[in-house]
Chain A
């Protein structure tokens, strides 16, 4: 168990050893701010909440999370350090979990740094901070889902660019399956059950309710089990491809 912490600590510090961490955080905050004000019409809505901010997160994450997750395993495989890591007395699950938690903590930090928006909305009005907290929790859960997908995919390849593009595409599928246009395409001919099944796999469907302040345990369970499944797959991929 302690090993998970050591691996997480090393990985987390690794982000800050290069400018990658700072570039990521700045870009994330810029895009989050931009989309909140210009796409989400924060002011024009005239409502004291952060819904415009949270509603853009699925799209932000599709673009940005693969940039974090792409290096998790493909870099280890490329430099050969995976041989060092996997011959230390740790289990594959400890390694997978430690790395995932480091990336998740890093994303959490970036998310936390959006606090000026929270201050702004509290200064301008009298928002329901419980709803905002729920939004942050939901966003973090969703980020975990994207990271678990990206981490597993990065274990498939030594090439970070391939890992990035593949993760982006898979993430996009998980988001789009709940998007109106996509569902309309299916609802014309497919049975209702299938349409609902497709929609139930979407991050959008599960995130939307949370971001409006409704923490349904089913939505939480969805993200937690999705993370668990992808991490499990990640461990299998690492085990079978580490030496290729």
Chain B
């Protein structure tokens, strides 16, 4: 069974509001799916339905082959879930909290102690194990929630904003942890931090207004950006306007623009194709000397904005 998560035409309507409106996708073992979208797009609602907390208006979800409507207990056994905001029992210590989770997960004796110790180790919370959770910082609370989710080494992990509220070092650690676990699990993480997509996701899914807008690898997502394979160049001793005129004459260049602060100019390719070789050759054939030249990556935030704002939707309709 390589398909660990199958979401089938899942929808949740709250009265007139279609929070999730017919979403289908699947995640296989080894995949880390980044679930992107603006606030209120339906990310958390989808996750709540997948984990059996919310009942869908229609559609269903299967996790490791178990249907969440027909067999919710089996679904819950096979997943670890970090809900939005990482709720926990504030008056408990991480130690007693994780022991409680281990009890419910059917672990006892040495297995239980080992699972608690290992989860604490991996989530880096060993130093706060005996302080009440309510006294912990936001970052530690989040990691206690993460420890709870990975405690029983589940085949599926559903993490709702796992790095929200963490400082850059903690984010780095959590991403490492997710990367470590990625190989033998299917993982869904929701985030609105776009840099995260490159750092951990093998696939990204953009959702807006309850519908899936884009489903592809991070690179495919970037390729949708107008900056993808664009080239910024500055030539020694030649006015940028002149360079632009030259570049505009090339077949692969669709348009050029002047960069501010005397940083040269940028050429955009026709339909995202690579053109740096032709471009540098053209410049050198003029006898000009290149001062700086670099190929742009796609800008994920631009893609994100384009697919999730109303304008793009009207364009697509």
- Which of A9, A14, A18, A84 is B83 in contact with, Cβ under 8 Å? A84
A243 touches B48 (CB 8 A): yes
Q: Which residues of B contact A88 (CB under 8 A)?
A: 76, 101, 104-105
B54 touches A243 (CB 8 A): yes
B91 touches A18 (CB 8 A): yes
CB interface residues, B 73-130, toward A, < 8 Å: 73-74, 76-77, 81, 83-85, 87-92, 96, 100-101, 103-105
B83 touches A80 (CB 8 A): yes
Q: Which residues of B contact A84 (CB under 8 A)?
A: 81, 83, 87-88, 145, 148
Known: A13-B96, A17-B132, A243-B48. A87 touches B83 (CB 8 A): yes
B25 at the A interface (CB under 8 A): no
A89 touches B77 (CB 8 A): yes
Q: Which residues of A contact B53 (CB under 8 A)?
A: 83, 86-87, 242-243
- Which of A14, A81, A91 is B73 in contact with, Cβ under 8 Å? A91
A87 touches B81 (CB 8 A): yes
Known: A17-B92, A81-B87. A89 touches B76 (CB 8 A): yes
Q: Which residues of A contact B51 (CB under 8 A)?
A: 87
Interchain CA distance A242-B90 in the complex, whole Å:
19
Chain A: residues with Cβ within 8 Å of the partner, total of: 24
Interface of A is mostly: helix
- Which of B73, B85, B100, B132 is A89 in contact with, Cβ under 8 Å? B73
CB interface residues, A 7-48, toward B, < 8 Å: 7, 9-10, 13-14, 17-18
Interchain CA distance A2-B88 in the complex, whole Å:
21
Cβ of B157 to closest chain A Cβ, rounded Å: 13
Known: A6-B100, A13-B96, A89-B105. A83 touches B89 (CB 8 A): no
Chain A residue at minimum C-beta to C-beta distance from B82:
A84
Interchain CA distance A162-B219 in the complex, whole Å:
52
Chain A residue at minimum C-beta to C-beta distance from B160:
A83
Q: Which residues of A contact B74 (CB under 8 A)?
A: 89
12 new A-B contacts at CB < 8 Å, known A80-B85, A81-B87: A10-B89, A14-B91, A17-B132, A18-B91, A81-B88, A84-B83, A84-B87, A84-B145, A87-B52, A87-B83, A88-B104, A90-B104
- A residues lining the B interface (CB < 8 Å): 2-3, 6-7, 9-10, 13-14, 17-18, 79-84, 86-91, 242-243
Kindly list the 6 A-B residue pairs having the minimum CB-CB distance in the complex, ordered from nearest.
Answer: A80-B87, A17-B91, A89-B76, A6-B103, A83-B83, A89-B77
- B residues lining the A interface (CB < 8 Å): 48, 51-54, 73-74, 76-77, 81, 83-85, 87-92, 96, 100-101, 103-105, 132, 145, 148
